[in-house]
Chains A and B, each alone.
Chain A
Amino acid sequence: MIKHTTVLILVLAAVLALATSVPAQQGAKGGGPPAAKAPPAAGSAQTAGRAHTPAPADAAAQESAKTKAALDSFIMPATVELIDYPNDDGRSLALKFPKSPSESPNFTYVVYVSKSAGGPWYRATGAASTSGKILMSANPADFGWAEETSETHIIQVELAKVKIGEEAFKGRDGMPQKNLEGEPIKKDLMLWDKSTRPGSTFYVRLIVTNKSGIERQVGPVLSGAPVEQWADPAKANNFIFSVLFCVVVLIFIAYARRNPNLFIRKIPGLSAVEEAVGRATEMGKPILYLNGMDPIGSLNTLASINILGRVSRKVAEYDSKLIVPCRDPIVMTVSQEVVRGAYADAGRPDAYREDNIWYVTMEQFAYTAAVNGIMLRERPAANFFFGGYYAESLLLTETGASTGAIQISGTDALTQLPFFITTCDYTLIGEELYAASAYLAREPRLLGSLRGQDIGKMFILVVVVVGTVLASLGKVWLDHMLVTK
């Protein structure tokens, strides 16, 4: 039932993604909210956080003349559009306009924004006119790869980051607070405050300014309302590949239920588990099992705990002693449950000893010293090291090797693999750790997921090879298709 529900949810999500991407695409192409409303621009530039207010009449005339003279050489962009910035949380607008032939490091584009057509105006953002970051081609995930993107500017106006002033920060008692230096603490006042509702209209002006700070407005004052998107089409390729991979894995799990004898290649380390447990039982010595150094949230620890379940079942069947010193308290708790369950499954709940699975310390080398001490005192006949390891790996395995124990390890920590390979009898490399649970249990459901994984790997291999050939031939469509955020 879960499977059918999941498929339904995934299909619905895909439909939702496609549906919500339509307004965003239209917005990005320039459909957006109506442009060019209202009033004439006026006034000189102010720094961020202060209102941009018109100057008195006489000074305004003089200023106007200076501005005109200074920026006469700059060829204004032919059109300016205000659109909703695509694929965001509904707090950004964007100004889209073609490049001007007279752009140079001397000129800067500045954006002012206001909640009303007459101002006050606040500085939102600015960028050098020649900056590559304000070209549409700088963000192909959102704007595509068309040729026009390298000739068109897009300036994102993040409305939630526009500062309009400061006020005194008040404590719970309503009194202004002071910082450590005795100065009053100030709180930023933002354009987008708690009273701003999604879909509110904002007014935007695009200004071009030169190094003297003289400004000239590009086009009229524009207005628009940002729209929140629920799905990000720029991540659609990611979503599709993830869903495809999930579907493939689920298909093979279903297939494996009908054909339980799926082939899985021999993993020597896992085949040796029974031999190691048997050896320990014959020698009357305990078995040491380490879950790695990572917390329970790490998948390698979960993989190790899965293997612990299988190993402890064998240990219970052989009536041997299992020692599991843990580095993390939650890992310890989960390990205790797993081992208890395994002993119960093997029909030996009486043989379970909770004290054999205990928390040592979280400190890396204190834990290593403790485990080394256990190895030297208890002299386990078999040591299992599964999970994530760091610098202590060689300390653990060398000590274990010196006691003559058979050692089986498995980790996805690439930098520790050489140490394990040198000192252990068997080593599971990378994904073999994650396959171990399926290998030991031989359950069709788990084997099926392994097969699905292999299909995924094959797909990546094909894409890498084909992509390399295409890129070498100058065909970049596959590269473009795979770009994501």
Chain B
Amino acid sequence: MDLITELTILVLAAFVGFEVISKVPNTLHTPLMSATNAIHGIVLLGGILVIGQAEGFLSKTILVIAIAFGTINVIGGFLVTDRMLEMFKKRPEPKKQAVEATEASK
């Protein structure tokens, strides 16, 4: 792929990022930060792409560490975010349900 195509993708994706994220309520800032943090763990792909061509002990070692780092970033990031969001479950609202039940029975 040529550089200009890549730059086009880069700039358009940046605008998508701005648009999607500028609407997040305060409440979700920490989980959002954590989820985006997990997404940049995608650099893991870079390690996978390069390691096959790498030669020599040092290069291979560097890349195994890079893949391990990327994996920690991805897996840890998504798990931690899930743990945070798990707590955002809706509270059971017995009153509302009761109202709906009586309305339904009418």
Is B truly associated with A?
Answer: no
Measuring CB to CB, which residues of chain A are less than 8 angstroms from any residue of chain B?
none
